[in-house]
Structure formats: structure tokens, C-alpha cells
Amino acid sequence: MIGTVFRTTDVPAGDRFDYWQELVGRTRSSALVSDHAADFWAEQRLMQLGPVVVSQMSFMPTRYRRTPKLVRQADPELYHLTLLLDGGLALDHAGQTSTFTSRDLHLADSSQPYDVRSADDRQGGVVTGMAVDFPKALLPLPPHRVRELLGRNLPGREGVGALLAEFVVGLNRQIGTLQPSDAPRLGTVVLDLMSAWFVQLLEAEASLSPESRGRATAERVQAFIRQNLHDLELTPPVIAAAHNISLSYLHRIFQQQTHGETVAAWIRRRRVENAHRDLANPSLRSTPIHAIAARWGYPRQSDFTRAFRAAYGMPPREYRQQALYGGGGVGRK
């Protein structure tokens, strides 16, 4: 057989979460957090197919964060494809914020930070999925094209995507019968199917009308902005560079999709709306107003107070008092 099975139940209960973090870190180093760390359960069935690693992973609700620091410390230069089989996940990666359920696929790049977390808190909340890790150099597509696919919900219910999904699931079903001599050929098949599918996805996008492409780009830009509202360097030139588009094109598609609202105005509105929400959150009542303001891109409280008053007709301190203790209706002007 070509597979190896790892179970957290093979080690003492107190070591199980650390053991799982070590297993995950063998392909991509991540910081793990789980409310179930004290009594953790997970299982991995791993197949080494030449340079391609295919695995089935099941685990209790967990958050996996690959920070910029971890990327700098060690980058295996891998792409990571996930096929979710059961449960739910949320992912922030490459300017995208997406959620995934059963039979959804997504692609991640080890050279970029990510934040993936369980998004299904059913009884037990166990997440199960198939993962494919492979060297980026083996994919016959330029990195700037692959970047268009990162972090998104990729369609895999028909065509080549469905063939790839079924092949990967089939490998796991046959893990006990496959021989080591089969491994390199099977890894080549996985790479060929992925390459054909990625090309198909990119060609389909290229065939979209200019209006549809602009709408899709604007949606990706808005997701990127939401993810980076805290960043004081979040400016139109930075956003355009992150998406490999010109500044003039960014402004054009953005105003087309937001009925004339500029990029800078959209950023300001989202920041003050998020701060407005946090000020009314009872769980944040002990968080100072200046800390909430800084969290959403206002390092100077005077700037935040001015923006908040312009949006809601009252200073943030008065709004918080009414929202948390007064019970009166307060809202946008």
C-alpha cells in the first residue's frame, strides 16, 4: 500500500493537539487554535504520489493561520488544493474572503498568508476534506494566472473539475490496494487533471464580456479591502498593484459597480460602519473607543470622531452610551 494513517488517538490525550499541529506543519507551517485543544481528535490518511501528496483530513473545529512571519521563516513553495467533503470552512487568502461547504474546492499558495477556520458548529463540528499538496514549479501555468484562482470558491461539480474531485476521492477509497510502484503515475494523473481544470477555468473567465470581467474584478477588490481595512497603507495604488491592474482601471470598474462611489470613499464608509457595529457590541463594552477606531484604520481619535459624527449625527461616545445602555434607536443619517 502507498498510504499512511495518523490518528491523534495514538498519543496521550494531553499531546494530541500538539501532535496534530506537527503533522500539519510537515507540509505548511501554521499557527493552530481550537476550543477543543484539551480533548482534541483528528485523523489524516496520507498518500505520497511522487512529488504530489494527497491526504484525507478530518478534525474537530480548528483555526489555521499562516502568518507573514511563518511565510518568511519557511516556504515550501507549494500549492494546496482542498476538496471539502463534510462540514464548513471560511478562508481569507490572497485578497479573497470565501466560505465553503461540501463538494466545494479552493486553492491556496504557501507563499501567501492565509486564515482558514471551521465554519460549522454542529454537534461535534468535525470537518472532513481531501487535500492535494504539490510543488508550484510543476504546474505549467504562469504564477500571475494561477493567482486569479487563489482563495476563491472553485466550481467542481461538473466537467474536468468533477473528474478531478472523483479521482482524488477514489484514491482515498483504494488506499489499501494501491502499490508503491503506482505512486508516480497516479501523481502525474492528478497534476494533469488539475492543470487541465485550471486552464479551463481561466479560459472561461477570459471569454466573459468586459462588463462581467469588471464586475468580477470589483468583487475581488472589495473582498480584499474588507480583509485589510485595518491597514493604514490601504490606498488605491496599493490595491491596484495587489490585483495587477492599472490605477485608472481600478477607479473605472469600481465606480461602475458602486454607482459612482470612489475607492477611497468606499473604504471610509466600510471603516466607520465596522466601528459603528463594534461600538454597539456588548462583548466589546470594555474596549476603549480609541482601540476600536485604530482597529478600523483610524489611528487618531479626532479623525474618527469627525468621520463618525458626519456619518451618524453624533459622536461615538454618545452613540455607544445609547446603544449599550439607553436602548434608543440610533442609526445612520
pLDDT for 71 beyond 80: yes
Report the C-alpha gap between 197 and 277 in whole angstroms.
Answer: 41
Amino acid 183 reads: A
Report the C-alpha gap between 60 and 38 in whole angstroms.
Answer: 11
Residue 293: pLDDT band by 50, 70, 90 thresholds?
Answer: very high
What pTM, to 2 d.p., does this model score? 0.65
- What's the grid cell of residue 11? 498519543
Report the C-alpha gap between 273 and 279 in whole angstroms.
Answer: 10
Please, what sign has the CA dihedral across residues 162, 163, 166, 171? negative
- Mean pLDDT is lowest, of 130-144, 161-175, 198-212, for 198-212
Note the Cα 32 to chain centre separation in Å.
15
Q: What is the DSSP string of 25-53?
A: HTTS--EEE-TTGGG--EEEEEEEETTEE
pLDDT for 326 beyond 50: yes
pLDDT at position 1 is 58
* Helices and strands: H and E segment counts in the chain: 12, 11
Report the C-alpha gap between 26 and 186 in whole angstroms.
Answer: 22
* Percent above pLDDT 90 for the chain: 59
pLDDT at position 330 is 47
Taking residues 39-55, what's their average pLDDT?
A: 94
How, if at all, do strands 31-33 and 63-66 pair? antiparallel
Taking residues 213-240, what's their average pLDDT?
A: 82
Q: Which helix (H) or strand (E) holds 265?
A: helix 263-279
Report the C-alpha gap between 224 and 230 in whole angstroms.
Answer: 12
- What's the grid cell of residue 184? 508516480
The β-bridge partners of 154 are 105
Rg of the chain (C-alpha set): 23
Tell me the pLDDT of the chain averaged across its residues.
88
Asked if residue 188 lies in contact with residue 50, where contact means CB atoms within 8 angstroms, the answer is yes
In eight-state DSSP terms, residue 194 is H
